Structure 1
């Protein structure tokens, strides 16, 4: 005859042994889930900063992707020149042309926030490169303005954002510019559509509160 004391009715609690196994299974599941989550976070953080084995990895982490060129610039002893992905390299600088517009102060702050500055133009070659680059971005016949790192709103004197005196740099103002200096104290490259044949004399002074595109510049990373 079956021992009535050994039966477990539907309303009776499970033995302690079974309860221990259930809690053990829950903890194993939680630990496993946390391990999976940690691995996923690690992959998300690390992978964007990795390159293939023939690319350098010791880059600033302000940008998740970089484009590197193995050509060695003249006068350097390093093997890679790198710019953030989406920036264009010319000589020893990387350039970014924005897709949105801001006033001059906001433009300066935006470039600074990316570890760069509003562009400082030093030569005809750089001016020509930037003008042609701007024309590539212009998709209509309408005029477009790109802020550069030149202004006179702080003390009434034109000065570059890198503090180089205005007189010590090449300038490329449009004929008749700058004018209205009592109000228009910020400089921009002025492109009249993507078929504009002009190359050099295309700077225009504008109101610093005007919404314009911007060109940011930073030095190439040499690795």
Structure 2
């Protein structure tokens, strides 16, 4: 009796151990998969939230000037237009008047580095706005020049930096300008301090290596 009891006891224990050894890896794998699935789900949700609201939060943090645009057909507001800090808003664009000077090529690169471009002037209203804005910030110095995104190619054809077609009828050159096209191939708004007369025909072509202020343009952001 005692011998059979010992044999029974001795044979039961290994079977139980084999059963536990076979189950443990599967329990571990299932647990790992469950944790991994939960982690991926949380990550996807966070990415979704970041993608949906990241731009909105960035705009709210950086924008100091904004204007709500009403939906005329529905008679309700559909969102806001945002300009970056220290940029001025007019119609559907934001404008930055620099406080430092550099040549035309460097001015193009500087505006591009801010996600914008040297200003492209498309209308008399836009020209008037920029002229008045330049007069406000200019001093009583004899003259102040702001580069715009207009330059002449080797054959003398004027081109805008964003490839907008150049239309002579929609330009604002000073009387007698442009001249000396063999050398002066870059355009600038020319303001003679606060003493300048109320004329909006003030573009001047100058040497492209001249260090001037610049005006950058950026489309407004809608939220």
Q: Same fold (TM over 0.5)?
A: yes
Unaligned runs of 5+ in 1: 1-55
Counterpart Cα distance in 2 of 1:169 and 1:57? 43
Larger helix share, 1 or 2:
2
Matches within 5 A, 1:44-123: 58-59=55-56, 65-72=62-69, 78-123=78-123
Contact (CA 8 Å) 1:68, 1:80: kept in 2 or not?
no
What does residue range 69-218 of structure 1 map to in structure 2 within 5 Å? 69-72=66-69, 78-153=78-153, 155-167=155-167, 170-218=170-218
Residue pair 1:63, 1:84 contacting (<8 A) in 2 also: no
Query: What per-residue deviation string (whole Å, max 9, x for no partner) do you get for residues 57-106 of structure 1?
Result: 62595996212424216669731110001000000000000000010000
Going by fraction, where is strand more abundant, 1 or 2? 2
Residues paired across the two proteins, number = 168
Question: Given the two structures, how large is their TM-score scaled by the length of structure 1?
Answer: 0.69
More moved, 60-69 vs 202-211 = 60-69
CA deviation profile, 1:123-149 (whole Å, cap 9, x unmatched)? 110000000000111122320000000
Equivalent residue of 2:216, what SS?
Answer: strand
Q: Secondary structure at the residue paired with 1:180?
A: coil
Give the equivalent residue in structure 1 for 2:19. none
Q: How large is the RMSD of aligned CA atoms in angstroms?
A: 2.5
Q: What CA deviation, in whole Å up to 9, does each residue of 1:4-33 have, x standing for no partner?
A: xxxxxxxxxxxxxxxxxxxxxxxxxxxxxx
Distance 1:60 1:134, change over 3 A: farther
1:65–1:143: structure 2 CA closer, same or farther, 3 Å change rule?
same
Shift >3 Å, 4+ stretches: 59-64, 73-78
TM-score (norm 2): 0.69
